[in-house]
Amino acid sequence: MSMKVYNTLTRKKEEFVPIEPGKVKMYVCGPTVYNLIHIGNARPMIVFDTVRRYLEYKGYEVNYVSNFTDVDDKIIKKAIEEGVDADVISERYIGECKKDMAALNVKPATVHPLATREISGMLEMIEQLIHKGHAYRAADGTVYYRTRSFREYGKLSHKNLEDLRGGSRSLLVSGEDQKEDSLDFVLWKPKKEGEPYWESPWCQGRPGWHIECSVMSRKYLGEEIDIHAGGEDLVFPHHENEIAQSEAANGKTFARYWMHNAFLNIDNRKMSKSLGNFFTVREIGEKYDLQILRFFMLSAHYRSPLNFSQELMEAAKNGYDRIATSVGNIKFLLENTKGGETLTHQESGLLKEADEYRKKFDGAMDDDFNTADALSAVFELVKFINTHVSEKSSRAFLSALKEEILLLCDICGLILDRKEEMLDAEVERLIEERREARKARNFARADEIRNQLLEKGIILEDTREGVKWKRA
C-alpha cells in the first residue's frame, strides 16, 4: 500500500516517494532552549516521532535531524537576568528538554545539532548567497537576504509578494531602513554589548534565526531532503525563508514534503510562552503518566487543532488504561493459562481475523498519519482480545496477540509493557533532582529521593564521575 502525505507546499495529499528508495531524510525544527518546554512544544516532537516510527516500521531507514536553537534574544535575556553566560542557559535547557523527550518516549534524533556549533557553515552559506546576488551587506554590517531575488518566494505559505510587501511596509522600524526592501530578512547581525558574538567577514555578530536550519539540514542530510517539518507557525516566515536560502544557495529543491502540525490550544487559543497560557511537560508529568499525554496528542489528527483540557486528559487516561489493562490481562494469562502451547484450529482462524486490525491501523497511518483512526483500530483489537482470550487459550495464541498489540502501541511510541525503558527516564529524573537538591544543600530532600529509589530497588552510588545507579 502506498503512503499519502499532506504537503503544505501543494496543499494536497501526495504519494510518498523518497529521493532514495528505502531511505528517508527528515528535518524537524527544534525548540529554542531558554526554558522548560511546554506541552505545545511537545506536540511536534510526539507527532513527528510517530511519523518516524511508522516509517521505520514500513522498513525505511530514517535519518532524523532536529536542532536546538541555542543562540537567540530570549536566551541572552535570561542569561543577563541570571548573570551567567548564554551557554549556561542553553546547556541547562537542552538537558531538561532531553529528559522530557525521554519521558515522552520520543526517540533521540540521529543528530541534534546546535546553532552555536555550526557558525562556520552559516558563514559559508551566507558568502554563497552574497556571491550569487541573493544577499547583501548593509552599512552597519548586517547581512540581509534579498527576498525579491528569489522568484518563488511565497510558494510555501501561498503568499503573494506584493501583498506581503504592502503588509510589511508599516513594520519598517528604525535600524531596518538599511534594507533594500521591507521583505528582506536578516542572515547576520552586528553584536550588541554583552551578547555572544562570532567573527565574520561582515562584522562581529551573530546569525539570524532562519539560516541555521538551512545549514544544518544541508550538512547532515544533503542539499535535497524528503521531509521538513515543524509547527504550523513556522510556515511563514521561518520555512519560507529557509526555502529561499537553501534553494538559492544550492540551486536544488530543498524538501519534497513539508509537514506542519496544528496548534495545541487552551481555551481555543494557541498555547504559548508569550500568552502565559501554558503547562510545562514537567507540570503535566506530576499529575499524569506522560504516556497519557502522548496518547492524548495522538488522539487527534496532527493537522487538526487540539484543545487541551482536564476532561480530555481524563478521557485519554481512560483510553490508555483500557489498553494497559488488556495487555496486563494477557500477561497474567500467559503465566497462568491452562491451555496448551500450540494454536488450536479455532485460534488460528481468530488470529487471521485479528490481522484485520493491523490492516486498519496501517490504512489509517498510510493516509497522512491518521493516528486518531489508528488508535481506533487499536481499540478494536483490545475489544477483540478481551472477547477471545481466557485461561483456556494456548500460550501461542496469547503471545501472538500480546506481540500484536504491543507492536501497534510501539509504532505510536506508547509504552504499555512497563519495563526498564520507562523507569530509566524516571530514575534519571530523580537522580538529577537529587543532584540539584544537594547543590542547594537541601540534604533532606536528597535523602528522601535516595530512599524513594531504594524502595523501587534502585541503588545509588556516588562516584567521582558522578552518580551511578543499578538495580538491586
Binding site for ligand AMP (CB under 6 A): 29, 31-32, 40-41, 43-44, 230-231, 233-234, 261, 263-264, 270-272
For residue 18, give the amino acid letter.
P
C-alpha to C-alpha distance for 420 and 428, rounded to whole angstroms: 12
Whole-number minimum distance, CB 20 to Zn ion, in Å? Answer: 23
Dihedral sign (CA 104, 105, 107, 108): positive
Look at residue 205 and give the partner it binds from Zn ion, ligand AMP, none, a contact being a CB closer than 5 to 8 Å depending on partner kind. Answer: none
Contact 371, 298 (CB under 8 A): yes
- Name which of 270 and 429 has its Cβ closer to ligand AMP: 270
| Nearest Cα to Cα of residue 16 among 30, 4, 7 | 4
Cβ 69 to ligand AMP shortest distance, Å: 7
Nearest CB to Zn ion, comparing residues 29 and 323: 29
Rank residues 135 and 215 by Cβ distance to ligand AMP and give the closer one: 215
Q: Which does 411 bind (CB under 5 to 8 A by kind): Zn ion, ligand AMP, none?
A: none
393 binds, among ligand AMP, Zn ion, none (CB under 5 to 8 A by kind): none
What is the smallest separation between the CB atom of 29 and Zn ion, expressed in angstroms? 3
Q: What is the DSSP string of 249-281?
A: HHSS--EEEEEEEPPEEETTEE--TTTT---BH
String of b and e for 319-344 (b: at least 16 CB within 10 Å)? bbeebbebbebbeebbeebebeeebe
| Cβ 197 to Zn ion shortest distance, Å | 22
Nearer to ligand AMP by C-beta: 43 or 301? 43
Q: How far is the CB of 434 from ligand AMP (least distance, A)?
A: 28
Closest to Zn ion by CB, 24 vs 29, is: 29
18 binds, among ligand AMP, Zn ion, none (CB under 5 to 8 A by kind): none
Number of neighbours of residue 163 by Cβ within 10 angstroms: 10
Binding at 213: pick from Zn ion, ligand AMP, none (beta carbon under 5-8 Å per type): Zn ion
Which is nearer to ligand AMP, 51 or 430 (by Cβ)? 51
Measure Cα distances from 6 to 14, 302, 441 in Å: 6, 11, 53
How would you list the strands of the sheet with 143-145, edge to edge? Answer: 135-137, 143-145, 185-190, 205-207
Q: Which residue of the chain is nearest ligand AMP when measured via CB?
A: 231
Question: Could you give the CA distance from residue 92 to residue 181 in angstroms, rounded to a whole number?
Answer: 39
What is the binding site for Zn ion (CB under 5 A)?
29, 213
Rounded to a whole number of angstroms, the minimum distance from the CB of residue 213 to Zn ion is 3
Phi, psi for residue 15 in degrees, rounded to 5:
-70, 140
